[in-house]
């Protein structure tokens, strides 16, 4: 059975912990070069994912994620329409096309938060597989174009079925753009 045909609706969410590559590169996005010594690069946050799979290989995918500390923050949102291609009964290739938004928040100077937001069309390709009846893996690459510069996202997520409807999941996401960041996720997914 294809990994997409297991459920028609799913919702996932949890905690994520990550870091940015450089405070000074982050602060440059706000023309604030004198604050890189304030705060650290480590951040915490949440993620929320949802999807609906139709009977004809089409699906809708939506994701929200945020990472922040007391001085800086980053958030992403993606909404797209996807199509999966069954390669074997347990392996599917898929593609998603949609819209995305990326936001950066700066508050290291403590003179009022500043937010930069970027919108773009977004494309994603990936592989979703079931390694066993209880273990699944999703590997994906997403590309967007924020502020006339390519934004790359690489993501791997593994899940373990706790019950027929509830699964635990862990993952890793890496973003490469003007400010690179990476995050580890841990959460739960419920299949309706």
Mean pLDDT across the chain: 90
DSSP 166-190: EEEEEEEEEEESSS-EEEEEEEEEE
pLDDT at 1 over 60: no
Tell me how many domains the chain contains. 1
Q: What is the 3-state secondary structure (H, E, C) of 67-85?
A: EECCCEEEEEEEEEEEEEE
What's the rounded mean pLDDT across residues 88-92? 93
**pLDDT score of 5 more than 70:** no
Q: Band the pLDDT of 147: cuts 50, 70, 90.
A: confident
Q: Quick one: pLDDT at residue 3? A: 57
What is the C-alpha separation between 187 and 148, in angstroms, rounded? 33
Span 44-58, mean pLDDT?
A: 93
Residue 75 has pLDDT above 90, yes or no: yes
Determine whether 61 is exposed, middle or buried from the number of CB atoms within 10 Å of its CB (0-12, 13-18, 19+).
buried
What spatial distance separates the first Cα and last Cα of the chain, rounded to whole Å?
Answer: 17
Residues 179 and 25: their CA atoms lie apart, in Å, by 6
* CATH number of the domain enclosing 165: 2.40.160.20
> Which pLDDT band, with edges at 50, 70 and 90, does 135 fall under?
very high
Residue 21: pLDDT band with limits 50, 70, 90: confident
How far is Cα 136 from Cα 158, in angstroms, rounded to an integer? Answer: 6
CB-CB contact of 11 with 25 (8 Å) = no
Q: Which domain holds residue 155?
A: 3-191
């Amino acid at each position: 059975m294809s990994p997409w045909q297991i459920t028609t609706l799913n919702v996932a969410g949890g905690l994520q912990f990550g870091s940015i590559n450089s405070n000074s590169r982050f602060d440059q996005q706000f023309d604030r070069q004198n604050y890189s010594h304030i705060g650290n690069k480590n951040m915490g946050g949440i993620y929320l994912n949802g999807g609906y799979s139709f009977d004809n290989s089409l699906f809708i995918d939506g994701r929200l994620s945020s990472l922040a500390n007391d001085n800086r923050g980053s958030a992403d949102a993606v909404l797209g329409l996807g199509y999966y291609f069954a390669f074997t009964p347990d392996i599917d290739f898929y593609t998603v096309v949609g819209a995305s938004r990326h936001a950066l928040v700066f508050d290291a100077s403590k003179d009022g938060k500043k937010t930069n937001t970027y919108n773009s069309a977004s494309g994603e390709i990936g592989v979703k597989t079931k390694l066993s009846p209880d273990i699944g893996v999703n590997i994906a690459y997403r590309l967007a174009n924020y502020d006339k510069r390519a934004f790359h996202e690489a993501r791997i997520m593994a899940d373990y079925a706790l019950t027929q409807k509830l699964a635990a999941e862990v993952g890793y996401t890496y973003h490469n753009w003007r400010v690179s960041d990476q995050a580890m996720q841990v959460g739960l997914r419920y299949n309706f």
